[in-house]
Amino acid sequence: YWKPQGGRRIVFLVDRSLSVGNKAAEKAEEMLDLARAEKEPADEISVVTFGRGARFVGESVGQELISQSLQDASDLYAGLNLANGLLSRSGGQIVTVSDGRYSGKDPMALVPECHKSGARILTSPLHTQRKRDVAITEVHTPERVARSTPYQVAFSVSSPVSCKSSI
């Protein structure tokens, strides 16, 4: 831990998406236990979770992390944005507990803003098995179609592994 004057400010950013299952919550709880053991009166420890959007969980969490339902999205951008907002301009540490996979905006776009506000981003990467997860990433349709005229719709589909799927 680094120790600024006035205490440390740490936000644990915990992935609650299906791709990590409960691994992130279990790892975060271990890390929170260690942080609490070293916590001094002026230190602040907070938890933000992300899945479909981001949520401030609080400062004293326990089994609530594991009891939160897993979500079919991983909005790391929203989580990082909320964590950085909690640290405001006084700086601190954001500890991400995630497999790094995200849906939505690219979280790397927020890194310069976090650094400007004095936030250090630390990662505790989780290595998960790639699952047979198939997603439609784009849908292309004509801008206009006359009534009773056949047309084509094109889908872009992605998957981390080769597998069969149906739409």
Express each pLDDT in 47-72 by its tens digit: 999 998 999 988 766 666 666 777 78
Phi-psi sector, 100: left (phi>0), alpha (psi -120 to 50), beta? left
Separation of alpha carbons 131 and 133, rounded Å: 5
* Closest alpha carbon to 43 in 10, 70, 73: 10
Range from 10-14, 80-84, 136-140 carrying the lowest mean pLDDT: 136-140
Separation of alpha carbons 42 and 115, rounded Å: 23
Separation of alpha carbons 82 and 140, rounded Å: 33
SS3 38: helix
How confident is the model over 14-49, as pLDDT tens digits? 999 888 888 888 898 899 889 889 888 888 899 999
Largest CA distance in the chain: 71
Whole-model pTM?
0.73
How confident is the model over 85-106, as pLDDT tens digits? 998 767 899 999 998 888 888 9
Task: Give the single-character DSSP code of 83.
Answer: H
Tokens of 81: 């944005």
